[in-house]
Structure 1
Amino acid sequence: MTKESTPNDVTLAEPIEQEVEAHSEDNKVSEQEKKKFEKREKERKHLVSKLAQGNMDHLLTRVASVLNHYQETRNSDITLQTRYWEVFQSDIYNGSVIDPKDMYKLERLTSIARARAKIQNEFKMFLADEEVQVSRRSRQETEKEIQLATKPEIPLISMYCDESGKTGNFAIVGSLWVINKARQTQVRDHFSKWKTEKGLSAKDEFHFTEMKKHQLDLYKEFFDEVIKNSDALGFKAVVVDKTKIKRPIDEIIMDLHYQVVHQGIEHEVSNGRLALPRIVNFFKDEEDGQEALYETKLKQHLHSQFRLAFDDQLTLDLFNSVPSFQNVYIQMADLYTGCISRVLNHPKQGEGNHKDHFAEYVLELLRLDLGAKNDQSQDFAMVHFFE
């Protein structure tokens, strides 16, 4: 005999069904949020990669570049707009009176503000001051914007780093610095045009370890072009003999990443090529298998060491690992670091091969002699050895 259902049976069953439905709905929402986060993170990394390349083809990247270079623009859309015009539409706006007819040619405030909101609110980059985030409008904002618009800018340095020598006796962190932000996009475009003239595609990269014998002349020509743009660039490297240090290699490399900044700043200041304060964009070559935890620790290490050594005179603004693909600056850092590692970790046998010849060619151009394994310093290139 089948037992008839009672009201109590129904009452007991309903909450279970509701709970299952609620749990299923929560999972659905959670999955949607996860996909949204992944999409947003992918877009953020794409933006950072474009900034690192100096690629200013899109409005979002151009607005991000202004926010990055001019900290005062993060708190004010009007200040952001005028700076944007000065940087990217200087042929129309020169900081003075605007012809009403030209207003139609200038980028609209709504478009700039929308891009700024996406960068700050979605990507959490180049954030405004906390009080501004709470309320971007206030009675005092007009006066504040006038003050911000006339506030002197803090110049920016972009640093592109690579490492080598983990398996050799000498650990090396080398870097390419762009010390003239106005030239960053120009230099990138110069090399893009040069590659086209040489019959190369955007996918063709310059990597020391991948250089073939028949490419030696091409690699030399590439570095000749680098030297022609040395007014905007600088090469810095720090080296340590691992056989004299009993520490994990990751700790050594982490310290070298800071030291390449510290020693490089001292080099540039002593040469009169820059003065503090400065804002730093720090990009390192993206490596397969490198843990996110290591990069977080490296970023924190740089932040803390900057404060200890330079007070508020050196500020880390942007830190990211970026792929070398289509990033000519990372490729320059790779070649410089590879040349130093070749000489120190792989002494030439006999006549040597194409990599030995390229390393000798580059170091001769930079007037760096690593034979004595002591500090080397020229106008825009240096190598510092730690005992």
Structure 2
Amino acid sequence: MENQLNIYMDESGKEKNNVSLMGGISIPKDYYKEEGIQKLNEKLKSNAIKLHFTDYKPHSLELYVEVFDAFFKIKDAMNINIMAYKRSNFKNHPLLASKINDMIYEKVPQRVIYGLLRKQSDLTPVIANVYVESSTEYHNRNLDKKIKKQVNEHALYRFNNFKIQISKLIPKNTEIGVEFTDLIIGIVRFIMLNRPVVNEDGQISKTAIHKYELIYKLMPKLKILLSEIKLYELSQQDHLDEIPFKNYLKFFEAHMNLLAEKGYLKV
């Protein structure tokens, strides 16, 4: 018998952002068929709903809560693997600074996906289907084909008992698993940055406030899910350091609760 696993991957923070995240979520295929998740998937594919944490607006609060609650029901079956990095750490390489994007858009995605597969059982084979939100960078590099080829070769080299059967680049708003991944890594990055809502000129960022309000609403369940995240920070010399996410969360929660006390948030 083969166990079927779906993996969804997305990123948060592009070239103009120094701190970037690339993350993936693995879900057993049968769990992904859960009724609430599939109803949302049908709405997404029919363009009845759209999701994107970067563009979040308060009128979408109920939708985001519904999506989060649907996936929270299967929280014990999900694994979340995220890699965080700063481009500036690699721009000073004496010989290969010009290859930063090749590393980020090829090597990092493979590490994210391999991290979700490498500790599967040696007794029962796992067949994985990988879905990555398409982008120009991924398309130009044929990332879907490279992920399948190189991760499978790595599995053979280490004699891991898994295989990537399908690897696809898919457009935005076509698979709810990818959109949920976008939501999670967007929230994780927002928490890590812990930005103020008032700038040096005294101007209030409504966009930031709306996202704080969303996270405040989700936090009771969100905190449970975030405690299971495997977060790695990529430093120079290819060091991957696992960072307990609570290290970021404690500062963010203190800041968010202060904002609520001062009346910046409608909670």
Same fold by TM-score greater than 0.5:
yes
Q: Give the match for residue 242 of structure 1.
A: 87
> What SS does the corresponding residue of 2:212 show, helix, strand or coil?
helix
Deviation of the 1:321 alpha carbon: 0.7
Deviation of the 1:359 alpha carbon: 4.3
Matches within 5 A, 1:243-258: 243-246=88-91, 247=97, 248-258=100-110
Q: TM-score, normalised by structure 1?
A: 0.48
> What SS does the corresponding residue of 1:311 show, helix, strand or coil?
coil
State the number of aligned residues: 215
Q: Does 1:202 align with 2:46?
A: yes
Contact preservation (8 Å) 1:173, 1:253: no
Q: Give the match for residue 177 of structure 1.
A: 26
The counterpart of 1:301, out of the listed 150, 160, 166, is 150
The counterpart of 2:163, out of the listed 283, 296, 315, is 315
Query: Which deviates more, 157-166 or 323-332?
Result: 323-332
User: In percent, how many aligned pairs have the same letter?
Assistant: 20
* CA–CA separation in structure 2 for the residues paired with 1:384 and 1:290: 22
Summarize the Cα distance change of 1:172–1:362 in structure 2 as closer, same or farther, 3 Å threshold.
farther
Q: Give the match for residue 148 of structure 1.
A: none
* CA–CA separation in structure 1 for the residues paired with 2:140 and 2:230: 30
Deviation of the 1:224 alpha carbon: 2.0
Deviation of the 1:285 alpha carbon: 0.7
Matches within 5 A, 1:207-356: 207-246=52-91, 247=97, 248-265=100-117, 269=119, 275-276=121-122, 277-288=125-136, 290-295=138-143, 296-308=145-157, 310-345=158-193, 347-350=195-198, 352-356=208-212
* CA–CA separation in structure 1 for the residues paired with 2:217 and 2:107: 29
Contact preservation (8 Å) 2:27, 2:79: yes
Q: CA RMSD in A?
A: 3.2
The counterpart of 2:4, out of the listed 143, 156, 174, is 156
Deviations along 1:170-191, one digit per CA (max 9) or x if unpaired, are 2211122112x32222x2x323
* CA–CA separation in structure 2 for the residues paired with 1:364 and 1:261: 28
User: Structure 1: any 5+ residue segments left out of the alignment?
Assistant: 1-152, 370-375
AA partner of residue 162 (structure 1) = D
User: Structure 2: any 5+ residue segments left out of the alignment?
Assistant: 92-96, 199-203, 236-267
Q: Give the match for residue 234 of structure 2.
A: 386
Q: Give the match for residue 145 of structure 1.
A: none
* CA–CA separation in structure 2 for the residues paired with 1:264 and 1:195: 23
AA partner of residue 70 (structure 2) = E
AA partner of residue 317 (structure 1) = Q
Structure number with higher helix proportion: 1
Summarize the Cα distance change of 1:171–1:317 in structure 2 as closer, same or farther, 3 Å threshold.
same
By relative contact order (CA 8 Å, sep 6+), the higher-ranking structure is 2
Q: Give the match for residue 241 of structure 2.
A: none
* CA–CA separation in structure 2 for the residues paired with 1:382 and 1:368: 13
Summarize the Cα distance change of 1:355–1:161 in structure 2 as closer, same or farther, 3 Å threshold.
same
> What SS does the corresponding residue of 2:223 show, helix, strand or coil?
coil
Contact preservation (8 Å) 1:169, 1:345: no
* CA–CA separation in structure 1 for the residues paired with 2:45 and 2:151: 36
Specify the structure having the higher radius of gyration (Cα). Answer: 1
Deviation of the 1:339 alpha carbon: 1.3
